[in-house]
Structure formats: structure tokens, C-alpha cells
Structure 1
Amino acid sequence: MRPTTNALKPPGDGTTLPSMAGAVVYIRVSTKEQTENLSLPTQLRACEEYCRREGLDVLERFREEGESAKTADRTELQRLLAFCRTNKGRVHFVVVFNLTRFARDKYDHFALRSYLQSLGISLRSATEPIDDTSTGKLMEGVLAAFAQFDNDVRSDRTRAGMKAALELGRWVFLAPLGYMNAPRAMGKSLIPDPERAPLVRRAVEEYATGRFTKQQLLQQVTAWGLRNRRGQPLSSQAIGMLLRNQLYAGIVDVAEYGVRGRRGDFEPLVSEDTFYRVQAVLSGHTPSLAPQLQGHPDFPLRGFVRCESCGRGLTGSWSKGRSSYYAYYHCRPGCRGVNVTKARLETLFEKELTRLQPTAGYMRLLKESVLQVWKTRKESARADLARAERQAEAIQKKLDRLDEAFLFERSIDIDVYDRHAEKLREELTLVRIDRHATELEELDVEGILAFAERVLPRAADLWVQASLAQRQRFQQLFFPEGMTFDGRDFVGTAVTARAFNYLQPIEEGNKRLVDLTGIEPVTS
């Protein structure tokens, strides 16, 4: 005979249980190491013995091995809740070894317990006297509070240990982009990510030159292939955080733990000088190397053109001859790869600009093609928006009718209402997302094309006549990643701005033609 006790009545139900009430068992260990001893088998035996003693039929067992105490990270707990929901009426009890195995936080405990009660399910502990009586509920509250206290004590100890490690220069959190968390045996907390570290270093060093805005840098790092851990391009917020992160200069600084300016136990990706130049650029203050970084009016290509031998930007200076001074671009000390006169290098650069210049006829053709495609795209977008609006209105009307049927007509019950309302809200959300994706940014396409029609065919002349600042902006517009020089000529294929990707000349026999194939992909 099964013992009949008040403890085994379903919550809120004063009737006698069926001959065999259904139960599910939930057991958990909080660290990977505990999965290797008898903790789980011990918990399971105790829970199953409790069920046998109380006459409960164990429908399912859920084993949480080495998972976090956080509910969101506990896959088996989520499976248990789903099982209880889909087997409502069959499951009457959730049995745990003790309440610390169920939740470490009072809020989580009572939130879970309340959800189970809504399904007609009561919580039981194999080692603690809790039930649905007033005394049992009091005991449950006390035990839940002690579980949270135990978790808080552990948290305090963990926090103290983390602070001590930070004081020693160890990084105890997730590694930032460009680093990886190192195994403890290596004696370092971080090691450079072989794939991302060079790109992060390059991004910080390029921004330190003052030649880029954050948005321009974001476009550059995206073109270089820098991605976050999910394989997605960086956001504007992420590039800002990257530029301000002192870890890249080997500095551990965590104000929350009272740790400031500690030397890290890992290899910096950039020098402190570079890091603080970046902060000066971000704050709008003039960096200490401002004259060199901003350029000299006599040498507009300074820093923009790189030496093929060492990869560093060229500098420029005047050399005194017998009777006059001569201007030269040359590489920095330690490399003799480039030493070229100012006139020759700038003449070669003008030729590169001339090579990109489209004919007037081509510009007219480009303008007509772009405007036609833009008009077609706008018409298509308007049609998609109208369709999405109609769908959203139709779904909203269904929701309104559903509300009326439930609230005023009382023709449907709460379960039917919830099921249909949730489905309709999901559909409405998806339609709104789709509507947002179809919206086109408002652009003055005709104005942009008119500007391009005036500027692109005269790029070389405009560069020669422009001021230093205007020349540098032209250079960045035409060749955003700079150019490489081997001492005689520009080498490699310089990365041009997107507009020029569709104006590159191609050879066909003895004629220089312009390839029109680039128009369609970028404008349609």
C-alpha cells in the first residue's frame, strides 16, 4: 500500500492522488570535476528511493552534468520544464536531491516553483522536509534562502580570487578580440590570436596616424576580413571599444575590482605610445606626433605611400645640393628601399589618378544606368512596403477580433486565446522585421552622380590644385588603403574606393575600354 500523506497531494488540490502519481527526477552537479565521482549516482539513488518510498512513478530522469547554476545555461532544466509542460496532467511532482541542486537564487527558486505550480506540479526534496503545508512552505523558504547564502559566499570568494589574480596582471575574463585565453600551464593569461591579432594591431596603428575616422576604419577592417567570434563584421560600437581597450597595450585596468594600471602577464599587441596616440585622436586632442602624422604641405604623399621592402609609410625631406635644395620621398631609417624625388613620385601618382578617370561619354552612360536601376529599385521597395503594411494590418485585425472574442463575447477560453494570440504576435513581429528590411535609405542619387560627373573626370587636375588637407582626402577617397612603391613604380593592385571598382579600364586589342559589368551588382 502506498502511504497517504498530505505531502504528496498536488499543490492546490485536496483530493486523493491516483494510485501512482507521476514524477520526474532532476539531479545536478555544478562543475565538470564532480561528474567524475559519485555525486550524480548518489543523488539519483536517493531520489529514486524517495519515489519508491512515496509510491511515485518516475516518468523521466534529467541529469545536469557540469553545467552552470544559472537557469539560462542549464539545458537539462530547460528540457525538464518542456517535458512538464507537454505532459501536463501526467507529471505531479519534480523530485530533487536537495534545494541547492534546483536553484542557487531565491528569485529563481520561487519563479520556477510558481511555474511548476501553474502546471499542477509540486516540488519535493529527497533529503529535506518540504511539502505544500504551511510548515513545509516555511521550511522551503528557509532552505532556499540558505542556498542563496551559500551561493553568495562562494561568489564573494570567487571575486576575491579574481581581484588577487588581476593585481598580478592576469586577465580572468573572456579574452578580447585579437587574444585567446591561455591554458594555466603556459604561465600567461592571454595569447595572441594568430588570425585576428595582426588585424587588430594594424587597425590600432592605422587609427593612430590620424588619417581615419572611426567609420572609415570600420570599413577598412571589414575589407581586411576582421570578424568577431560569431563570424560577423564588427559594429561601430565594437570598433570604438576596440580602440579604447588598454589590454592591447598590455595594461590591466578594471575599476570594478579596484585594479588600476597593472602590467599584464601577456604580450601587448601595440605599444603604449601607439595606444595613447589613439586616445588623443579619439578625444579630439592633437597627438604628440601631430606634425609628422598630419603631413607637411610639401609632401602630400608622406605616410600614404608605403615602401615595398619594409611596409612602412614613406617620409619626405629636403636635401641641400651645391646650389639649391631638392625634395625627396624616402623610407625611414633602417631601410633603403625607396629614395625618389618628389617630382617623380607625385607625377607617377597623377598618372594613377588619370588612369582611373572615365570619359565624359562613359559618365553619361553610368549616370543613366544608375538612375534607371535606382528608380526600379525604389518602385520595387515601395511595392514590398505596401505589401508588408497590408499583411501587418490584416494580422492586427485578427488580433483585435481575437481580443473581442475573448474579452467581450466570451466565445473562446484562455488556452485558445493564448495559443492563437502568441502565433499572431509572432507573425506580426516577422512582418515588421521584413518591412524594416525593405526600407531604402533616402539618398540624393542625382546630386551624388552630378558631383561624381564633375569630379571623377578631373581627379588628377583637382589633386594638383588642391590644398594639403584636400589632397589627403582625395588620396583616401581614391585609394583608401594607400599605395605601395618599390623605388621605381607603384606595385601590386591598389585597393580603390568602391566607386572606382566599376571604372577600371580593361585592355582589348589596342583600345583602352571601360568595363561596364560592375554596374549591375552594386546598384541592383
Structure 2
Amino acid sequence: MSTAVLYIRVSTDEQALKGYSQRSQAERLQSFCANNNIEILQTIFEDHSAKTFLRPAWTKLMQHLTQQKLSRPNLLLFTRWDRFSRNTADAYYVITQLSRLGIDPQAIEQPLNMSIPENKVLLAMYIVTSEVENDRRSLNIKYGIHRAKQEGRWMGHAPMGFIKKATESGKTVLTPYEPQATLVRKVFTRISELNTSISRLYKQSLDEGLHCSLGAFWCMIRNPVYCGRVKIPEFTGKEKYEVRGIHEPLVNEELFDQVQRILDNRKRNTYINKPLNDLLPLRGFIYCPCCHRKLYGSGSKGHTKRYYYYHCYAPCHYRVRSDRMNTLFLGGIANLKAEDDYVSLYKEILQDTFKDIYNKKVIDQVYITRTIEKLIDRVAKARELLSNGNIDCEDFLAIQKDCEARINTLGLELHNAYSLVEIQKVSLDQAVSQISHLDDLYERADLALKRRLINLILVSNLIFNEAMFGQDVKKEVQVIYGICDPGSHLSLYEGATKHEQETPDVSPNFDNSMCAKIREIEHRKGSSIDWEGAKNVLQWLRDLARISQECRIKK
């Protein structure tokens, strides 16, 4: 004998239509089972829409069928296919899940043998017909709401100060509701008198008995329904507009328009202000000339704008305008011109560095693509677990939201990696020229790259002075830009321990031939540099090349 679970579903608006009542469906299903010698194991009653399978009774049923392997039925019976689902894609997915469990879903009034391929076309027709019916009903509701608004009727909950009442024709109309209506009128009148702020007026209205949040208060004083107008939103390509409402207004149009002009004039100027850090890139690198403590940075409010300073918290209270110090630094690096031999050397290093970054980005592309695929699979598995009843709807939505956020972030990173293909087309000579135009590189970089460039150039614990260059830059900069005196001996590891000299921080792709070239360049200049110093110069050039490439990628 075959066994079956009866699935009886109605939605709220179908209770008394077309014989869709639960009792009617139960009688027909029970009669069908009695005539065909089918044992009824369970009857499931559902009062939920069939747009999706996120239904309480269905979720519990799937969870039971998944866990109880020995008591699974052979059939899942319902009267018609629209009782099962009104979504084609979801229906096919759930039918596949039931087939894996050995359960055959069947509509007794629309029987289909799913082993016959042609019957799948009939199944699609049955379900699509219901889906189209749902979509048509939804569209009709939207058109009906839009038409009612065009007639001047307010759709939705009654705004504060109004109540909905039915007319003799059966239509609902907004009617003033006391004492809220009087309080709303007072609000508009007080705003027009220009004698108080909105926040103070809101608190005063709360004390008088107006119950709403500050956000709802702002919506209220901006809503034209109070002067008898109804907003018509954008619909089918038509722009939004307003029509005369059929309800009684609480305030006249002149008062409402006057209030809107007052509120518009109170708006703050919308302009993009640079964050504090963008105006203080040297903060933490410069020290006070009076007490030799680190200079901090902050803004000071003036009559028309904020002025930013680098300042000391010590009793000396020393401070200097940030724009002045920033200009001094920018002018100093603008005067740095690399020697020709180091420009040629930098070109070779730039090519090698770009190759390293490009290879890394290619690896990133593969990794990001695989990660995105895994996140998509995770959502699909979560949907399957939801259908089987192993997780609830809230858990599924949380997993879906998390995966979508991570996919969006990874998508930006993937776009960044692909942008290197375009960067390759940029002339190498343009990148090489930046070694002698550090000011141009500095101005095009974001805050993080600016601070890396500052750290690359300036010595640590630099005391501020008007001439911030010369011996105030690192020894590597002195070598590359010819600041050192001819004939000098350069040991860039003076004061370092023996361990530090043996293990300098250099790139893993370090090329000994580059160090030999650096030593040869200095020898031709009549100077000398030890091996560790040459390694440090090479590392400085590599760091500059990476900053240059990252700046180009972000642009």
C-alpha cells in the first residue's frame, strides 16, 4: 500500500474563493486516497502565500522528512499545482529535493507522470500560470494604489493629526483628529515665527502631548499632506509630482510653503571637507624645536573656517601652521633631483618591482575568484539546508547577507587586480621620471602612501627648522640625490649591531649585481660605500618603486 502526506494550503485572500477552503481540499484529498487505497500518514495545513517555500508548516514538514528516513511517505499529495508553489524556479528545486528523498509530489486534479519528459512542459505551464497570476495581481495592486493617489486619496497609515474614516461610498478619507491636529497646527505656526530651533520645538511639542520620534517630526513638517496635497511618486517612467487631495488640510498652503522656505534656508552648506589626517600628513615625524618632543596636530576654529597646526603639548606651547610646514616639505622634495646613474639603475629596479607586483596580483585574481565561488556555493548550500529544515529563515538570511558583503568587497579587490593590465600600457619612462619629481608623486598619493614616502625620506626624530633638508634626510637619499660631499666614505649602518649588519632588511629578490653597480657609481664620483650601505640604497629604491606602482594602481 502506498503512503502519503496531504498538503493543504490557502492564503488569507483565498479562504472563500474558488473552493480553496481547507475543508474542501481535505475532503477531496481524503476521497482520492480512499478510492486509490493510499494510507494517509499526516495532513499538513498551511495558511501562507506560495510565492516562496519559506512557510512555517512546510519548513517543519521538510525537516521531519529529512530526519525520519524510515517513516517517509511515497507521495506528497495536494489538489492543484498552485497549492504547491507559485514560483517556477523554487518549484523545480523543491521537486528535485523531494525526488532525492524518494517522495513523488502529485496534484490529484492535475496528475502528471514525471517519468515522461513531455510532462515537465505541462508542469511548467501549471506553475507559470499561477506565477503570472500572482504577478498580475501584484501589478494590479500597484496600479490601483497609483490611481487612488492620482485621485487625491492618501494611501497607507494616517499621518499624525489625521484619522481615516469611511465615506458613504465606502472609500476612506483622512479626517482631522483632535487634539493631535491642533498640536500639528501649532508646530507649523511656531516654525513660521522663527523664534525657536527645530530640536527645541520638538521637545516643546512632546511636553504638550505630541507623541513621535525626532525623525517622524521632521517627516511631518516636510509632508505636503498637511496643506492638502498628495505626493505621486515616480511610476512607469513618469516623474514624481503632487495633486490636490480630497481630505481637509490642517494648514493653508501659504503657511506650509513659508515653513519649507525657512527649513531650506536652515540647511547647512554641503561641501566635502578633508579629514583631519589629510591636512596633517607630517604628524608624528617632526619634533618640537624648543623641547624636542613630538609635534602633534589638530584644528582650530576660526571666523570662517578651521585652521590646522602642528603643535606641542609641553609647557612651551610651540605651534606652526600645518600649511606652512607642508609647503616647506613639498618644496624641499621638489628640489631633489636624482643623479643620472641612479635614474638608470632605478629603471631596472622599477621593472623588476613591477614584475613582482604583477605576479602577486595575478595570484590574487585566482585566489579572489575561487573565494567568490566558494561564497556562492555556501549560499546555495544554505538554501538547501533551509529547504530541508536544518536551519531557519533568520540563519539563512544572516548567511546570505554576510556572503553578499564579502563578495562585494572581493569584487573591488578583483577589479583592482585587473586594472594592472591597463597600467602596463603606461609608459615606463613616466614612472622612472618620478625619482626626480618626488613632489608630483607626493601630491598624487593618498594619505597612507604620503606617510610612507615621508618615512622613506626624513630621518627619525627630526627637529623642525626652516631648512628641512640637507643632513635632515636619510643617508640613502643623500647618496642617490648627490647631497653627500665628494670623496666621503658612506657607511649606512653606523651604530648598528653586528647582527643587523649581517642581516639587513632587503627584498628576497635582491640582486648582488645591483649593489655592485651602486658601489661602482660611488667610486666614479670619488666616494666610497660599504656593501651593507649599497644594500640599503637598493632597498630604498625598491621601496620607492613600490610606492610609485601602488599609487598608479589606486589611481
TM-score norm. by structure 2 comes to: 0.40
Larger radius of gyration: 2
Tell me which of the two structures has the higher relative contact order, counting C-alpha pairs closer than 8 angstroms and 6 or more residues apart: 2
**TM-score, L = length of structure 1:** 0.42
